[in-house]
Amino acid sequence: MGSALPLGEPAPLDGLLPASAAEGAADRAFGVYVHVPFCRVRCGYCDFNTYTASELRGARQVDYADQAIDEIRMSRRVLAASGAPSRAAETVFFGGGTPTLLPADDLVRMLGAVRDEFGFAPGAEVTTEANPDSVGPEDLIRLAEGGFTRVSFGMQSAVPHVLAALDRTHDPARVPLVVRWARDAGLDVSLDLIYGTPGESLDDWRRSVDAVVAERPDHVSAYALIVEDGTKLARQIRRGELAQPDDDLEADMYELADTAFAEAGFEWYEVSNWANDAAHRSRHNLGYWRGDDWWGVGPGAHSHVGGVRWWNAKHPAAYAERLAAGHSPAVGREVLDAPTRETERVLLLTRIREGIDIASLHTGGRHAVAGLIADELVDAKAALAGGLTLTRRGRLLADAVVRRLLED
Amino acid sequence: MSPRAATPPVPAATDPALIRNFCIIAHIDHGKSTLADRMLGITGVVSDRDMRAQYLDRMDIERERGITIKSQAVRMPWQVGDTSYALNMIDTPGHVDFSYEVSRSLAACEGAILLVDAAQGIEAQTLANLYLALENDLEIIPVLNKIDLPAAEPEKYARELAELIGGSPDDVLKVSGKTGLGVEDLLDRVVERIPAPVGDANAPARAMIFDSVYDSYRGVVTYVRMVDGRLNPRERIQMLSTKANHEILEIGVSAPEPTPSKGLSVGEVGYLITGVKDVRQSKVGDTVTTAAKPATEALPGYTEPLPMVFSGLYPIDGSDYPELREALDKLKLSDASLVYEPETSVALGFGFRCGFLGLLHLEIITERLQREFGLDLIATAPSVIYEVTTEDRKTVTVTNPSEFPTGAKISEVREPMVRAAILAPKDYVGTIMELCQSRRGALLGMEYLGEDRVEIRYNMPLGEIVFDFFDQLKSKTAGYASLDYEPVGDQAADLVKVDILLQGEQVDAFSAIVHRDKAYAYGVLMTGRLRELIPRQQFEVPIQAAIGARIIARESIRAMRKDVLAKCYGGDISRKRKLLEKQKEGKKRMKMVGRVEVPQEAFIAALSGDVEKKDKK
In terms of phi and psi (left: phi > 0; alpha: psi -120 to 50; beta: otherwise), the region of B339 is beta
Q: Identify the pLDDT of residue B95.
A: 63
B568 to A250: CB separation less than 8 angstroms, yes or no: no
B572 to A344: CB separation less than 8 angstroms, yes or no: no
- The C-alpha angle A372, A376, A378, rounded to 5 degrees, equals 55
Q: What is the DSSP letter of B536?
A: P
CATH superfamily of B498-608: Elongation factor 4, C-terminal domain (3.30.70.2570)
A399 to B565: CB separation less than 8 angstroms, yes or no: yes
Coil, strand, or helix at residue B544? strand
Task: Please name the residue of chain A whose CA is at the shortest distance from the CA of residue B577.
Answer: A344
Question: Cα–Cα distances in Å, from A54 out to A39, A57, A59, A61?
Answer: 10, 7, 10, 12
- Rounded CA separation B147/B153 (Å): 8
- Rounded CA separation A372/A380 (Å): 9
Residue type, B38: R
Calculate how close chain A gets to B601, using CA atoms only, in Å. Answer: 21
- Rounded CA separation B402/B438 (Å): 26
Q: In chain A, which residues have their Cβ closer than 8 Å to the Cβ of B569?
A: 1, 285, 288
Q: Which residues of chain B have pLDDT under 50?
A: 1-2, 54-58, 62-71, 613-617
Q: In chain A, which residues have their Cβ closer than 8 Å to the Cβ of B539?
A: 375
- Could you tell me the sign of the dihedral formed by the alpha carbons of B379, B384, B390, B395, in that order? positive
User: Do B136 and B106 touch, CB atoms closer than 8 A?
Assistant: yes
User: Do B556 and B542 touch, CB atoms closer than 8 A?
Assistant: yes
Q: What is the DSSP letter of B352?
A: E
Residue B567: what are its φ and ψ, rounded to 5°?
-115, 130
Q: Identify the pLDDT of residue B94.
A: 62
A311 to B539: CB separation less than 8 angstroms, yes or no: no
Q: Which residues of chain A have pLDDT under 70?
A: 1-4
- Could you tell me the sign of the dihedral formed by the alpha carbons of B569, B572, B578, B581, in that order? negative
Q: Do domains B16-193 and B309-379 have the same CATH topology?
A: no
User: Shortest CA distance to B161 belongs to which of B190, B131, B122?
Assistant: B122
Beta strands at A219-224 and A267-270: parallel, antiparallel or unpaired: unpaired
Architecture of domain B206-290: Beta Barrel (2.40)
Q: How many helices (H) and strands (E) does chain A have?
A: 15, 15
- The C-alpha angle A48, A51, A53, rounded to 5 degrees, equals 160
Calculate how close chain B gets to A96, using CA atoms only, in Å. Answer: 12
User: Do B384 and B416 touch, CB atoms closer than 8 A?
Assistant: yes
B566 to A226: CB separation less than 8 angstroms, yes or no: yes
What is the CATH T-level fold of the domain B402-493, as seen in this structure? Alpha-Beta Plaits (3.30.70)
**Interface size between A and B, measured as CB pairs under 8 A:** 108
Coil, strand, or helix at residue B397? strand
Domain residues of chain B, as ranges?
Answer: 16-193, 206-290, 309-379, 402-493, 498-608
B564 to A396: CB separation less than 8 angstroms, yes or no: yes
Q: In chain B, which residues have their Cβ closer than 8 Å to the Cβ of A271?
A: 564, 566, 568
Q: Identify the pLDDT of residue B3.
A: 56
Q: In chain A, which residues have their Cβ closer than 8 Å to the Cβ of B587?
A: 403
Beta strands at A30-36 and A89-96: parallel, antiparallel or unpaired: parallel
**Which of A223, A248, A296 is closest, CB to CB, to B570?**
A296
Coil, strand, or helix at residue B2? coil
B562 to A302: CB separation less than 8 angstroms, yes or no: no
What is the CATH T-level fold of the domain B16-193, as seen in this structure? Rossmann fold (3.40.50)
- Rounded CA separation B116/B29 (Å): 10
- Rounded CA separation A296/B321 (Å): 50
User: Do B135 and B112 touch, CB atoms closer than 8 A?
Assistant: no
Task: Please name the residue of chain A whose CA is at the shortest distance from the CA of residue B573.
Answer: A344
**Which of A254, A296, A344 is closest, CB to CB, to B577?**
A344
Q: In chain A, which residues have their Cβ closer than 8 Å to the Cβ of B503?
A: none
- Rounded CA separation B449/B157 (Å): 10
Calculate how close chain B gets to A288, using CA atoms only, in Å. Answer: 6
Calculate how close chain B gets to A395, using CA atoms only, in Å. Answer: 7
What is the CATH T-level fold of the domain A9-290, as seen in this structure? TIM Barrel (3.20.20)
A406 to B584: CB separation less than 8 angstroms, yes or no: yes
**Residue B250 β-bridge partners:** B273
Looking at chain A, the domain(s) classified CATH 1.10.10 span 337-408
User: Do A148 and A104 touch, CB atoms closer than 8 A?
Assistant: no
Q: Identify the pLDDT of residue A171.
A: 92
The answer to whether domain A337-408 has CATH 1.10.10 is yes
Calculate how close chain B gets to A2, using CA atoms only, in Å. Answer: 6
| B 554-613 near A (Cβ less than 8 A) | 558, 560-578, 580-581, 583-584, 587
Q: What is the 3-state secondary structure (H, E, C) of A217-268?
A: CCEEEEEECCCCCCCHHHHHHHCCCCCCCCHHHHHHHHHHHHHHHHHCCCEE
**3-state DSSP: chain A helix, strand, coil percent, rounded to 5?**
45, 20, 35
ipTM of model: 0.91
Q: In chain B, which residues have their Cβ closer than 8 Å to the Cβ of A335?
A: none
Select from 3.40.50.720, 3.10.310.40, 3.30.460.10, 3.30.70.870 the CATH code of B309-379: 3.30.70.870
Q: What is the 3-state secondary structure (H, E, C) of B247-291?
A: ECCEEEEECCCEEECCCEECCCEEEEECCCCCHHHCCCCCEEEEC
A6 to B574: CB separation less than 8 angstroms, yes or no: yes
Coil, strand, or helix at residue A30? strand
Describe the crossing of helices A338-349 and A398-405 by its angle, rounded to 10 degrees.
Answer: 140
**Residue B377 β-bridge partners:** B315
Calculate how close chain A gets to B219, using CA atoms only, in Å. Answer: 51
Q: In chain B, which residues have their Cβ closer than 8 Å to the Cβ of A302?
A: 570-571, 573-574
Task: Please name the residue of chain B whose CA is at the shortest distance from the CA of residue A371.
Answer: B595
Give yes or no for a cis peptide into B523 (omega within 30° of 0). no
User: Do A397 and A378 touch, CB atoms closer than 8 A?
Assistant: no
Burial A143-174 (b: 16+ CB within 10 A, else e): bbebbbbbbbbbbbbbbeebbebbebebebee
A165 CB contacts (<8 Å, ≥6 apart)?
A44, A197, A198, A199, A200, A242
DSSP secondary structure string, B292-313? Answer: SS--SSPPTT-------EEEEE
Instruction: Tell me which of A402, A404, A408 to substitute to probe the interface with B (most B C-beta atoms closer than 10 Å).
Output: A402
User: Shortest CA distance to B594 belongs to which of B546, B544, B521?
Assistant: B544
- Rounded CA separation B382/B400 (Å): 9
Q: Identify the pLDDT of residue B48.
A: 58
Beta strands at B173-174 and B139-145: parallel, antiparallel or unpaired: parallel
B568 to A289: CB separation less than 8 angstroms, yes or no: yes
Task: Please name the residue of chain A whose CA is at the shortest distance from the CA of residue B578.
Answer: A6
Q: In chain A, which residues have their Cβ closer than 8 Å to the Cβ of B590?
A: none
**Which of A272, A302, A393 is closest, CB to CB, to B571?**
A302
Residue B528: what are its φ and ψ, rounded to 5°?
-65, -45
Q: Measured in whole angstroms, how far is the alpha carbon of residue A68 from the centre of its chain?
A: 19
Beta strands at A188-195 and A219-224: parallel, antiparallel or unpaired: parallel
User: Do A384 and A401 touch, CB atoms closer than 8 A?
Assistant: no
Q: What is the 3-state secondary structure (H, E, C) of B143-202?
A: EEECCCCCCCCHHHHHHHHHHHHCCCHHHCEECCCCCCCCHHHHHHHHHHHCCCCCCCCC
User: Do B20 and B87 touch, CB atoms closer than 8 A?
Assistant: yes
- Rounded CA separation B315/B608 (Å): 15
| B 523-542 near A (Cβ less than 8 A) | 538-539
**Residue A31 β-bridge partners:** A91, A294
Q: Exposed/middle/buried for A406, CB within 10 Å: 0-12, 13-18, 19+?
A: buried
B573 to A247: CB separation less than 8 angstroms, yes or no: no
